[in-house]
Structure 1
Amino acid sequence: MKIALINPNTNADTTMRMVRIAAPHFAGQIDGLTAGFGSALITTEDALNTAGKAVLALQPQLEGYQAVVVSAFGDPGQEALARALSMPVVGIAQAAMSEASAIASRFCVVTTTPGLVARIAQRASELGHGSAFAGTWITPGDPVALTTDPDRLLAALHDATVAALSDDPAIEAVIIGGGPLAEAAKALAAQVPVPIVQPIPAALRLVQLGLSTQDLHT
């Protein structure tokens, strides 16, 4: 089975990193496709909207694949691409929220992009998780700078996660909201008392569950 992992930003190095993150969670072939236009890091709603158009523009390259993973938190273009294709099209926010809601009655998102807080809440509502979604906690500092410093990124995600659990003790699971953040999320899992959901592995699990096309499109 072949899966196309679409990176909705224009950074090919990020695409390669996300394919490496995905590979241990899938026995088949994973090919990375990078957006042909847009932003190198999606940090605003405008950038997310442009990323959705860039994802749809990749449709002609998807022939021969059995499934697609849209690997940006916010799932830009996922729903439109799912309507256009007969194969499963899974977004990493979709998969992570589905997994979090299955293991927790209340979950939150921790991420680096304050400009996407409203869209993350919108996505949770669209997917039917509004009552379980506790909100989004943001790391301090510039997102671009954080993503280039793994140690600082891990520390910032840890602090934001601790803040979330302190602010809302009912939170039972935390999603680290971003495909390239999975490496930090894996390390963070050993440092906090609740499950950490990593979006890319969650998306691979959702694909492999063999859910119906209708289930994957919701």
Structure 2
Amino acid sequence: MSIKRIALLNPNTNDDTTQMMLGIAQQALLPASRVLIEGRTAPRGQSLIVNEPALAEAAQVVQEYGPQVAAEGFDALIVAAFGDPGLTALREQLAIPVTGIAEAGIAEAAAGGRRYSIVSTTPELRNSLQYLAGRYGHADSLVSIRITRGEVQRVMQDPLRMAEALLDSCRDAIELDGAEAIVIGGGPLASAARAIAALLGVPVIEPVVAAVRLSLQRCTATTA
């Protein structure tokens, strides 16, 4: 059985974020799995996607850069930003499976009709998050979109502050909105999501890990 290669494409220009998400993605693999995940960082765009113009720019970059990445011989590709920028257009261009972390994370959170909440740090992307829930067929079970308190750049720059802010918003989603699962809405939030998961009484879906699982399923399906 040949080794499967999956590209994790970070649509923002922050290579540290790419490496963090790559580490989490690799930890999601079983020890005996014959899968290699490699990170790739967008060559241009924004270091952090916090609004609609940045999301649109990221979509364009993904459409242009994604085929170059795929041409390196990958068996699948993950778009590792929660807005899934450029996902549909890239999927139409490529013959390999293309998976978005929002697509995968929302699907896991809403599995079986479970009531879920999206918790994120980007207030200007609230409408796009609502749109994604509907696009993927899970709008009916979405009970809330919770945005962390505080200025987004400051929250994101301090890992401890980010984890605390996410924890507070997750608790609000559970206690006030009745969420039975939480999906953390952001690739750069992956490490904080892991840090707070054990402190909550409901499943906390890490979208990067969910995307690895879905991408592997799709790889298996295409070779079956």
- 2:49 is matched with 42
Q: Hey, what does 1:166 align to over in structure 2?
A: 175
- Name 1:191's counterpart in structure 2: 199
Of 14, 24, 29, the residue aligned with 1:21 is 24
Could you tell me whether the CA contact under 8 Å between 2:77 and 2:96 is conserved in 1? yes
Q: Counterparts of 2:123 and 2:205 in 1: how far apart (Å)?
A: 20
In the TM superposition, residue 61 of structure 1 has moved relative to its aligned partner by 2.6
1:32 corresponds to 2:39: yes
Could you tell me how far 1:212 is from its partner in structure 2? Answer: 4.8
Q: Which residue of 2 aligns with 1:110?
A: 119
Give the 3-state SS of the residue equivalent to 2:192 in structure 1: helix
Whole-Å separation in 1 of the counterparts to 2:176 and 2:221: 38
Counterpart residue identity of residue 15, structure 2:
A
Give the Cα–Cα distance (whole angstroms) in 2 for the partners of residues 42 and 102 of structure 1: 27
Query: Which SS does the other structure have where 2:149 is aligned?
Result: coil
TM-score (structure 2 length as normaliser): 0.91
Q: Please report the TM-score for the alignment, with normalisation by the length of structure 1.
A: 0.93
User: Counterparts of 1:106 and 1:39 in 2: how far apart (Å)?
Assistant: 33
Contact 1:75 1:92 in 2 (8 A): yes
- Distance in 2, Cα, partners of 1:183 & 1:103: 26
Gaps of 5+ in 1: 214-218
Residue in 1 aligned with 2:101?
A: 92
Q: Verify the 8 A CA contact 2:7 2:69 in the aligned structure 1.
A: no
Q: Which residue of 1 aligns with 2:70?
A: 62
One-letter amino acid of the counterpart of residue 126, structure 1: R
Count residues with an aligned counterpart: 212
Which residue, out of 205, 212, 215, partners 1:204?
Answer: 212
Amino acid at match of 2:107: S
User: Could you give the per-residue CA deviations for residues 36-81 of structure 1, whole angstroms, max 9, x where no partner exists?
Assistant: 2211100001100100001111112311000000000010011111
Q: Matched residues, percent identical?
A: 42
RMSD after superposition: 1.4
Match of 1:178 in 2: 186
Q: Which amino acid aligns with 1:181?
A: L
Distance in 1 between the 2:133 and 2:205 partners?
A: 15
